[in-house]
Chain A
Amino acid sequence: MINEPFAAGNSLIHNLDPRIRVGLASVYCFVIALAKHTPVLLAAIVISLSLIFITRVNPREIARRLVIVNVLIFLLWAVLPLTYGDPALFRAGPFSISGPGTKLAAQITLKCNAILLAFIALIATMPLVTLGHALNRLRVPAKIVLLLLMTYRYVFVIEQEYHRLLRAARIRGFRPGTNLHTYKTYAYVVGMLFVRAAARAERVNQAMRCRGFNGKFYTLQQFETVRHDWILATIITAMIICLLFLEWSHRA
């Protein structure tokens, strides 16, 4: 099932103003993504891990997500050291392990994990509705926010519909395999999902118009920036500036 395992919680970061979290996360992720020097990336991993530590979310959930992302990174480890070219780290017969290739793969691994951990700590710790409203306050176009909230509202409904269709297929004895019958069944399931989604959208649209919908979702949730928000935001900003300084000093 689709769920948001990190959204509930009570920690310094969970209580931090969502607008600040979105802003800081964006800046921080870009700083890491554009960094070129290994010490900066090591520092970033440490910062991201400490953010995760502050949020006190379930480490097993985080480990599961890290594993999946690192499976993709594993492909780079399998290919880059062998193909990147000279100078070689060492040779064994026809094979040579490329020095720069290994370094690049290691850097990408660090970057990817640092960004992922920061994203979990700062963004995944808020419910999507809060994220939508925070984006709205940060002047993201209203239509995108509306679309995001609509999609979020109905993703669970449609997931249930999907499971209903699957159950129906199952009690008729459907077993997936590599054959045309399977592809046909899945194509019909997908088609039916789209048909039902469109029909539901029409009903929802009519209902919303009846209630005077004018293109805006109102929220009673007020975002407030209190003193401890400013303190935490300043600390994280200071860390980002340190990273930038570290990057710049290595470049010089």
Chain B
Amino acid sequence: MWSRRDHRRLTKTDIRRQTNVMHISEGILSGPVLASGMVLAAAGTAIGLKKLDYDRMARAGMLSAAFFVASLIHVPIFPSNVHLILNGIVGLLLGWGAFPAILVALILQAVFFQYGGITTLGVNTLIMALPAVISYGLFGRLIHKRPTIASTAAFACGSLAVLLGALMIGLALMFTEENFWHVSAIVVAAHIPVMIVEGIVTAICVAFLKKVQPTMLPGSARPQTL
């Protein structure tokens, strides 16, 4: 039957249980890496903001909030649990708008939970948003094909977004200090279970959205807004 432990497991948005995998803490990276992260994130955000007119602003803000909340969900994977990142889905839903949406979600995360902060904001935005945009570009059109192709594409979209993010963390560490090689390898390896879970969740979630609200997905017949 339902035990207290199950209840706790299900309602774990509590800060103590937060172990955000996909980000780099403050104080690790070198100046040049921080600076290039910031420049690239600013460029991506500028493109994203240009594509978001004021009519789509409410939608982007709301999806950003949903992304923030959904990323608090812990999904069990034996023997531990991972928490969802969902940058693949955010990429699908917002395209380049993923940059400002993720930037804003990270600012909220910094203020609420103190994950990351001012100096790593650029790098961390880039780590999540660039893979989102890339997987949107690669798989955005495939998800309306036959169900087998569509679900494979959605799986690939979700797991590639995580893989690319993990590789970018690894690269950022390596550019900072060549001796970070082992740490980078551990970080990338730690993301493999996350990749699988994200792929499955993304595939099912995209199938769900296709049934329930197909206009939310890119390349659908009707325009996405209003």
Contacts and interface: CB of A to CB of B under 8 A. Distances in A.
Interface of A: 1-4, 25-26, 29-30, 32-34, 64-65, 68-69, 71-73, 75-76, 79-80, 83-85, 101, 104, 108-116, 119-120, 123-124, 128, 131, 141, 143-144, 146-155, 157-159, 161-163, 166, 169-170, 173-178, 180, 182-184, 186-198, 200-202, 204-205, 208, 213-215
Interface of B: 2, 6-7, 9-11, 13, 15-16, 18-19, 25-29, 31, 34, 45, 49, 52, 54-55, 57-66, 68-70, 72-73, 75-78, 84, 86, 89, 93, 100-101, 103-105, 107-108, 110-115, 117-119, 177, 179, 181-183, 186, 197, 200-205, 208-209, 212-213, 216, 226
Given A4-B111, A4-B112, A162-B69, A205 B27 contact: no
Nearest to B24: A72
Contacts of A71: 19
B9 A151 contact: no
Nearest to A146: B57
Dominant secondary structure at the B interface: helix
Contacts of B65: 150-152, 154-155, 157-158, 197
Given A112-B26, A147-B60, A186-B201, 5 more contacts: A33-B26, A108-B28, A110-B27, A111-B27, A123-B117
A175 B76 CA distance: 10
B17 to A, nearest CB: 9
B16 to A, nearest CB: 6
B62 A197 contact: yes
B13 A1 contact: yes
B165 to A, nearest CB: 16
B27 A194 contact: no
